[in-house]
Amino acid sequence: MGRLDIRFVPTPKLELKKLWGQLKLDGQQYVLKRIGFMLPTLDINVQSGVMQALAHFWCPETTTFVLGGKFELTPTLEEYSIAIGKSIELDIVEPPIRVDPVVALAEFLSLTKKEIEKVLKGNCQACLISFLIECFENSSIRMRSRIFILAFFGFIIFPFRQNAIDPVIAWTVKQICGGVSFINTILAETFISLTRFKKEKYRTFRAPIELLQIWLFSHLSQFEDNMTVFEMGMTDNPILRFKQIQDQTKSLHYTQWVHLFKDPNSKIFLWQAVWFREVEARLCHGDQKPVPLMGIYGATSYQPLRVTRQFRVLQDVPPPLGPNEFQVQFEKGECYRAELRHHFEAWQKCSTQKLIWPADEPTGRMKSHFAMARYIQYHTILAKILPKIPVVTARHTRQTQIKISEEKAMKAQEKADVLAEENARLRRALKAHSSIDHVASKKRKTI
């Protein structure tokens, strides 16, 4: 049986870019005010090989990627907040528990329930891009902006199915259009999708894969200079930077990425993204307890104390792992009133903490690990929770294979040219030598 990789939903980016071009300036400004810096994700190509490889290194218990069996990295609320250009508010998106998808979409689009039922019934309870385009073309300027945001979040941020969105997303987008922060929701769905994949419950990734890819490459030293952002804004931000340099990203095969993550080189990986520098961060709630994340289809924990070096703080030994108190899968028809109350109360306790950076530049092993001596000496991850990584033989990408073949052919041609030239030289020398012998022979005969 072959390996099972995480799956990414193909998205209709060309159609969305056409809709964007049809918005008036006021409509575009309305959209940008609500989605932040994320519009360039429509031009970002997903490298499925590296992202499929990375997913295998996710550890549900630590909610981190564990590289080399020890080194932990994870997207943080603050990293995503800065990259997207939206602040982390205390108010977070309420999940669509016991929300009727038909009613939610009908109210969002100002249509009747019967009209929406007819559309969804013929498409396995999903809303097709063609229907949203039809609604867009027949709507007012203000409504067009809202429909674009619905399509953007339904396809790019919370992908559901090829060319179709989950109608319940309308409940989420309505809150986003109202100004509610969605950073927590994005990170939640990212973690939940990775955890479902690792626990072999569901393989489809339901979060913005482009953002996760940008986050990963921001932690690779190869792009340290190109990913430096001096003044964060619409014209200079990590998403736009990555769009501009994406053609320079490493061209490695899936198997090569697996081997790289298995044996990470400290010269390749960066603990801190070069564009990220905050003075405060949400690191825990209460006494070193995990931070709650509330998604659309579930909730989970987030443990930034395990990756404080990503905030430029010397990494200390993280607190012991406890039960995932926020882990819940939302099922249709269930209430989850107690779980939600606990979740929201815990989020309210996640006040920001001042980050204390080292007074002096770390040296030796502390510098390479950006960690305290006790972390380097004592930190381990239990073998029973270490991610199971597929056994693969390193291979080159097709593009690299073609390049290698072309280089081999070029070298072979160069060698053939050298041999041909040497052969011609020898022939000329032999001919010259034969001519000399012939003249000498004639002279002897004449004498």
Q: For 158-195, how does the pLDDT look when each residue is reduced to its tens digit (9 = 90+)?
A: 999 999 999 999 999 999 999 999 999 999 999 999 99
User: For the chain, which residues make up each domain, given as ranges?
Assistant: 7-385, 398-447
Note whether 367 and 361 are within 8 A (CB). yes
* Average pLDDT over the chain, rounded to an integer: 89
Q: Residue 12's pLDDT band (boundaries 50, 70, 90)?
A: very high
Q: Please give the single-letter amino acid code of residue 297.
A: Y
| In the predicted structure, residue 410 carries a pLDDT above the cut 90 | no
pLDDT at 268: 85
Note whether 355 and 372 are within 8 A (CB). no
pLDDT at 89: 78
Q: Residue 444's pLDDT band (boundaries 50, 70, 90)?
A: low
pLDDT at 128: 95
| In the predicted structure, residue 147 carries a pLDDT above the cut 50 | yes
Q: Which residues of 21-39 are buried (b: 16+ CB within 10 A; e: fewer)?
A: eebeeebeebbeebbbbbb
Q: Please give the single-letter amino acid code of residue 63.
A: T
| In the predicted structure, residue 441 carries a pLDDT above the cut 80 | no
Average confidence (pLDDT) over 423-428: 78
Tokens of 442: 């004639």
pLDDT at 40: 97
| In the predicted structure, residue 413 carries a pLDDT above the cut 90 | no
pLDDT at 387: 94
CA–CA dist 394, 403 (Å, integer): 17
Q: For 56-84, what is each residue's pLDDT tens digit? A: 999 999 999 999 988 999 999 999 999 99
| In the predicted structure, residue 400 carries a pLDDT above the cut 80 | no
pLDDT at 1: 39
Q: Residue 437's pLDDT band (boundaries 50, 70, 90)?
A: low
Share of the chain above pLDDT 70, in %: 92
Q: For 27-49, what is each residue's pLDDT tens digit? A: 999 999 999 999 999 999 999 99
pLDDT at 440: 60
Q: Residue 392's pLDDT band (boundaries 50, 70, 90)?
A: confident
Note whether 210 and 44 are within 8 A (CB). yes
| In the predicted structure, residue 198 carries a pLDDT above the cut 90 | yes
CA–CA dist 31, 223 (Å, integer): 30
The crossing angle, in degrees rounded to 10, of helices 141-152 and 129-137 is 160
Average confidence (pLDDT) over 290-295: 95
